[in-house]
């Protein structure tokens, strides 16, 4: 987990600082990437590192005490079994990862699909989201083991027992504005679990947004997407905590995509727009590696 923090988030911030010095960064993390971002942000707050301007978490949990149906698979015995399986190959295989998430939504992702495709012969044409889902995740052994034990089993991040550089960190130390997005039917990061950022954060501003859809479709909710709606409210310093059920009942619903609302929020927390003559990446020693979208898509 710490390799991903140091070689991912912190290294990226170092490069941004080299290319565009003295600029603060709007950060965003999705799912486990959001949890990693929260860890990095808390560690930066503890160390007085002010390079981040805001933090946006998409379907990302910081408190795993209500992690939902995924906990059916997470016991000491199951984690030990997974560690034994991963030991040989060094990773959790993509098929095993996909199978676990399909079981969480077995009615939607297994049984209804089998009935529709096999018994009724009504195979759906592929769409963009199906292609994205087919690009499955492979989890490194050590990172996955640390994630399961430290976060899911022991909930160390929410309880001040998660260590970075041999010192405990706390979400409570984060002071920058937070924008947290959750999805109503998310089985991976249940929205009430994501909502607990309101209990942990001590920021002067925590904006929580609940959108229709699931773990993927709720986040990939572009303007013009039919049937989308969301609820949003901001909790500022000093305001009393509202439980998730009351929050859901009292917060009005807004039709449409949440993307423009997030864009406006980012604009409100930014300086005046400026014209940049160029990012200056090559001049800072970071020339382009390849033309977009890069060689990743070719599996090289």
Residues catalogued as catalytic: 31
Q: Which of 290, 270, 286 is nearest to 278 (CA)?
A: 286
Q: How many CB atoms lie within 10 A of CB 133?
A: 14
Let me know how many helices (H) and strands (E) the chain has, helices first. 13, 10
Q: How far apart are CA 171 and CA 202, in angstroms?
A: 8
Q: How far apart are CA 163 and CA 165, in angstroms?
A: 6
Q: What is the DSSP string of 239-284?
A: PPP--HHHHHHHSPEEES-SHHHHHHHHHHTS------S---TTTT
Q: How many CB atoms lie within 10 A of CB 287?
A: 8
**Contact between 16 and 54 (Cβ < 8 Å):** no
**Contact between 179 and 211 (Cβ < 8 Å):** no
**Contact between 215 and 183 (Cβ < 8 Å):** yes
């Amino acid at each position: 987990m710490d390799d991903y923090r140091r070689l991912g988030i912190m290294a990226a911030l170092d490069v941004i600082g080299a290319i565009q010095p003295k600029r603060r960064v709007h950060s965003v993390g999705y799912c486990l990437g959001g949890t990693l971002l929260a860890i990095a942000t808390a560690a930066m707050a503890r160390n007085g590192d002010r390079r981040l301007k805001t933090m946006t978490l998409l379907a990302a949990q910081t408190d795993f005490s209500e992690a939902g149906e995924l906990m059916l698979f997470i016991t000491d015995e199951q984690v030990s079994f997974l560690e034994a399986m991963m030991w040989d190959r060094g990773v959790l295989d993509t098929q095993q990862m996909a199978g676990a998430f399909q079981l969480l939504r077995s009615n939607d992702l297994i049984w209804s699909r089998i009935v529709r495709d096999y018994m009724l012969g009504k195979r759906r044409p592929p769409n963009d989201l199906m292609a994205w889902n087919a690009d499955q995740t492979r989890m490194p052994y050590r990172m996955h083991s640390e994630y399961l034990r430290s976060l899911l089993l022991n909930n160390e991040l929410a309880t001040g027992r998660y260590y970075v550089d041999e010192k405990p960190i706390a979400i409570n130390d984060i002071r920058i504005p937070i924008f947290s997005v959750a999805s109503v039917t998310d089985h991976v990061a249940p929205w009430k679990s994501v909502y607990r950022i309101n209990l942990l954060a001590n920021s002067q501003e925590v904006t929580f947004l609940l959108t229709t859809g699931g773990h993927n479709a709720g986040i990939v909710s572009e303007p013009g997407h039919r049937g989308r709606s969301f609820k949003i409210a901001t909790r500022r310093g000093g305001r009393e905590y509202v439980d998730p059920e009351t929050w859901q009942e009292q917060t009005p619903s807004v039709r449409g995509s949440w993307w423009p609302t997030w864009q406006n929020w980012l604009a409100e927390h930014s300086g005046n727009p400026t014209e940049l003559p160029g990012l200056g990446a090559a001049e800072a020693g970071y020339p382009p590696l390849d033309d977009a979208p890069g060689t990743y898509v070719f599996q090289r």
